[in-house]
């Protein structure tokens, strides 16, 4: 049976070069491909078993996330963990257990990071199984859906519109089969395939259907050798991760010379007790390391994945959560995004005196000719089901696949005694001349948001129709998604511009968008009138909101034009016609019910097919970015004041003021515990660029002021106290100043205040107060305020430091706005 091409108003253009075996584009394939299997029923169960026994199975593991070993390795074997680990071992031998607490904290943090990432991996892997496509393979004469990993050498794999070629093979059957190889070659034009032609994994079907024999599976397949082509073009850039990497690189450069100077100062220049000198040296090095920053970033991403997973949202690349939060333009494909996949025939209107019964018979013939109809044709099939007189006795002798360049498809039928007839079905404004009076009535239907297809009879062939006669209009009602209006309102409220880009008639698309309340929906643009020059196209895109009659290549160009103006662009879609734009967009979002090809290139897959999940993804990304920016400032303020304190100690040739236990206490109360809560808190602030600049503009002045205030208190305490135990009193005074200034930094970071944020800051302050008043905690942490003069002086200096921090941050806000 000849397969009828997809009837749609979107789709890639036909034509274009194929990839020949043995060419430069295909270095891993032999020049002469093996012949396809002769058995149309596929392999038998016995043959499958034989191939499995020989290991001829598509055994390449499809992982949605890192392996357990990779997660453990990434969390344990880090540069900073190695440094802290060595210092911890030293402290276990030379100092009391209190001074080794930082090592236990690192172990706990690493364990938390591993557990959270493993939970995220479990969520991702589970969702990936749910969303995995099941290719149809013929075995024992029956077609069944199986897992990709179960395909064996020689299997006969069926193909239909939207299916991805999962292993290499040779076409055995072809029914107007067109395959897009753009993910391999970069060429957007689909290639017509005939029996004997080669197909490669990573390509996908855009029209027609057929079957191919698997000739290379597992690690020999082209896709395996390229390590999954669908994603190699679209690896998401993460400003957050690259920014943190940049910060850690600078921290390392600062830390090494400073630590060497401190070691020389404390162990060589100072004639103190050796063990005490070692402890104070370690106490100066450890806080320079922002050891919890990477951990909290990983935890925040992992928890984001788990939260979205509960909403049936598969995040195929973790930084995509961050990317969507930065998006300021979202391009929406109408079909499958604003509207549900299904449609209904509202009316069949005969034209030019055509007999209604004959029109139904034509539509019935078209419907029974396609075993895998799309939404438009399925609506026609539902209205004219097989088994009735509609189309009975007609035989389809030829078919013309749908093309986005043509905007119509066609078929030729043998009507028996009546002879043959040639029919075209597609966009009325393409099939009819611009002055045709019928278009006025069709425009009225489009204004109501209805989808209209025109059925015409052609005098010539499918390739050269010649004179045509309009026979009927097929009016389709589209089902609006009930959650689309609310989601569009959310994007408008968040200053994210929504652009509806569709292959349908612009007026019809605008009517649908208008019903959903999209701002600017009344100003529709026919994409055929858009300028080809990128700058001009970008200007038109900024001004308009609804674009119709868009070809797949135009979708790709439109995404590029928006990006050229500095926009971060997200693209949603579910059909093969959206693949090119999804691949080029900053973030590609696919519906779970979409074609396998779109799911392969998208970074985010909405498995529940709910457009309303997108705000959750945006909100999760904003939570991650906003909160990590907050806590990064805390960590890096500590790094700045630790480095500066070490430099001041080296210059002054005095004992380092703190033991490791003091800085463990300070880090826990002013950074560790509050950062964990702040990193996971709700945050609706829109993501802003320049992560490193935004963090360092606060961390540098805050760290400098904290170090200066602390060292000032320490020098005053050294001149104030004398005699045995004076070093502990000096340390206690300096610790009090550093804690109070750090608490003010925390108080600024915690803004805007809510009841729980105020409670968090108060709880940390109360914790430090308890250490100061409980005798056994005083002894444990070697903290005891002596007298009243110096402690109150420390408080006064801290108050001045806090005031300076407030002023400095306000100046930074005005001078370097985000």
Separation of first and last alpha carbons in the chain? 63
Burial 665-693 (b: 16+ CB within 10 A, else e): bbbbbbbbebbbbbbbbebeeebeeebbe
Distance separating alpha carbons of residues 483 and 680, to the nearest angstrom: 27
Kindly state the DSSP code that residue 237 receives in the 8-state scheme. Answer: P
Active-site residues: which are they? 333
Helix (H, G, I), strand (E, B) or coil at 452: strand
**Superfamily the domain 345-477 falls into:** Calcium-transporting ATPase, cytoplasmic domain N (3.40.1110.10)
Category of 22 on φ-ψ map: left (φ > 0), alpha (ψ -120 to 50) or beta: left
Kindly state the DSSP code that residue 65 receives in the 8-state scheme. Answer: S
Distance separating alpha carbons of residues 316 and 64, to the nearest angstrom: 6
Query: Given the DSSP bridges, would you call strands 451-458 and 468-480 parallel, antiparallel or unpaired?
Result: antiparallel
Give the pLDDT score at 182.
Answer: 65
pLDDT digits (tens, 9 = 90+) for 416-475: 777 788 888 888 888 877 777 777 778 777 777 788 888 888 888 777 777 888 888 888
Distance separating alpha carbons of residues 679 and 671, to the nearest angstrom: 11
Give the pLDDT score at 403.
Answer: 62
Give the pLDDT score at 187.
Answer: 59
Say which CATH topology domain 246-291+633-815 has.
Calcium-transporting ATPase, transmembrane domain (1.20.1110)
Give the pLDDT score at 9.
Answer: 35
Helix (H, G, I), strand (E, B) or coil at 194: coil
Distance separating alpha carbons of residues 764 and 762, to the nearest angstrom: 5
Provide the Cα torsion 194, 198, 203, 205; round to 10°: 20
Distance separating alpha carbons of residues 500 and 548, to the nearest angstrom: 8
Those residues of the chain that have pLDDT short of 50 are 1-37, 226-235, 387-388, 391
Say which CATH topology domain 307-338+480-617 has.
Rossmann fold (3.40.50)
Give the pLDDT score at 6.
Answer: 32
Locate the domains of the chain by residue range. Answer: 246-291+633-815, 307-338+480-617, 345-477
CB 640 within 8 A of CB 646: no
Give the pLDDT score at 711.
Answer: 94
């Amino acid at each position: 049976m000849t397969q009828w091409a997809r009837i749609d108003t979107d789709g890639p253009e036909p034509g274009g070069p194929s990839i020949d075996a043995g060419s430069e584009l295909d270095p891993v394939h032999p020049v002469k491909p093996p012949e396809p299997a002769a058995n149309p029923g596929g392999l038998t169960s016995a043959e499958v078993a034989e191939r499995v026994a020989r290991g001829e199975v598509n055994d390449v593991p499809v992982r949605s996330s890192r392996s357990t070993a990779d997660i453990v390795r990434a969390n344990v074997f880090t540069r900073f963990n190695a440094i802290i680990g060595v210092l911890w071992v030293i402290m276990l031998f030379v100092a009391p257990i209190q001074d080794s607490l930082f090592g236990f904290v690192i172990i706990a943090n690493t364990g938390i990071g591993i557990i959270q990432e493993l939970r995220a991996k479990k969520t991702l892997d589970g969702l990936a199984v749910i969303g995995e496509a099941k290719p149809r393979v013929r075995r024992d004469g029956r077609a069944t859906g199986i897992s990709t990993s179960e395909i064996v050498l020689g299997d006969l794999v069926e193909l239909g519109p939207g299916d991805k070629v999962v292993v290499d093979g040779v076409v055995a059957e072809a029914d107007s089969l067109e395959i897009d190889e753009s993910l391999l070659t970069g060429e957007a034009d689909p290639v017509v395939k005939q029996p004997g032609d080669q197909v490669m994994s990573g390509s996908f079907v855009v029209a027609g259907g057929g079957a191919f024999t698997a000739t290379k599976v597992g690690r020999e397949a082209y896709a395996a050798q390229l390590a999954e082509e669908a994603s190699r073009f679209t690896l998401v850039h993460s400003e957050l991760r690259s920014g943190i990497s940049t910060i850690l690189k600078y921290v390392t450069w600062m830390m090494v010379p400073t630590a060497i100077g401190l070691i020389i100062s404390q162990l060589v220049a100072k004639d103190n007790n050796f063990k005490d000198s070692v402890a104070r040296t370690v106490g100066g090095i450890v806080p320079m390391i922002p050891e919890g920053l990477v951990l909290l970033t990983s935890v925040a991403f992992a928890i984001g994945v788990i939260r979205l997973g509960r909403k049936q949202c598969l995040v195929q690349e973790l930084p995509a959560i961050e990317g969507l939060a930065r998006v300021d333009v979202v391009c929406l494909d109408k079909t499958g995004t604003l509207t549900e996949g299904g449609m209904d025939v509202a009316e069949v209107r005969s034209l030019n005196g055509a007999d209604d019964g004959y029109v139904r018979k034509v539509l019935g013939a078209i419907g029974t000719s396609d075993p895998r109809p799309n939404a438009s044709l399925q609506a026609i099939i539902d209205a004219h089901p097989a088994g009735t007189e509609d189309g009975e006795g007609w035989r389809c002798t030829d078919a013309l696949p749908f093309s986005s360049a043509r905007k119509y498809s066609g078929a030729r039928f043998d009507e028996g005694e009546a002879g043959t007839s040639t029919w075209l079905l597609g966009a009325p404004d393409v099939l009819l001349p611009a002055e045709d009076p019928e278009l006025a009535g069709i425009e009225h239907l489009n204004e109501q948001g209805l989808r209209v297809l025109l059925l015409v009879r052609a005098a010539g062939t499918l390739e050269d129709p010649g004179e045509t006669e309009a026979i009927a209009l097929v009016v389709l009602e589209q089902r609006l998604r009930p959650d689309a209006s609310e989601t569009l309102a959310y994007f408008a409220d968040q200053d994210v511009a929504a652009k509806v880009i569709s292959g349908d008639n612009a007026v019809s698309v605008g009517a649908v968008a208008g019903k959903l309340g999209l701002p600017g929906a009344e100003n529709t643009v026919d994409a055929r009138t858009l300028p080809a020059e990128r700058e001009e196209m970008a200007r038109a895109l900024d001004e308009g909101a609804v674009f119709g009659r868009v070809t797949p290549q135009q979708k790709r160009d439109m995404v590029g034009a928006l990006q050229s103006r500095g926009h971060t662009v997200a693209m949603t879609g579910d059909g093969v016609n959206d693949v090119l734009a999804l691949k080029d967009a900053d973030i590609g979002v696919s519906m779970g019910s979409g074609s396998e090809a779109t799911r392969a290139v998208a970074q985010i897959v909405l498995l529940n097919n709910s457009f309303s999940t997108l705000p959750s993804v945006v909100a999760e990304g904003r939570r991650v970015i906003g909160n990590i920016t907050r806590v990064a400032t805390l960590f890096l303020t500590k790094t700045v004041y630790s480095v500066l304190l070490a430099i001041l100690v080296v210059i002054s040739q005095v004992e380092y003021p703190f033991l490791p236990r003091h800085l463990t206490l300070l880090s826990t109360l002013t950074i560790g515990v509050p950062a964990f809560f702040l990193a996971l808190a709700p945050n609706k602030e829109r993501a802003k660029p320049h992560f490193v600049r935004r963090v360092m503009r606060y961390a540098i002045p805050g760290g400098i002021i904290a170090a200066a205030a602390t060292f000032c208190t320490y020098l005053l305490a050294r001149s104030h106290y004398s005699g045995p135990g004076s070093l502990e009193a000096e340390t206690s005074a300096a610790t009090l100043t550093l804690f109070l200034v750090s608490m003010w930094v925390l108080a600024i970071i915690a803004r805007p205040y809510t009841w729980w944020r105020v409670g968090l800051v108060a709880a940390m302050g109360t914790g430090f107060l308890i250490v100061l008043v409980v005798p056994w905690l005083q002894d444990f942490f070697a903290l005891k305020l002596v007298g009243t003069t110096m402690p109150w002086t420390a408080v006064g200096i801290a108050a001045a430091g806090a005031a300076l921090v407030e002023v400095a941050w306000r100046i930074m806000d005005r001078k370097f706005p985000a």
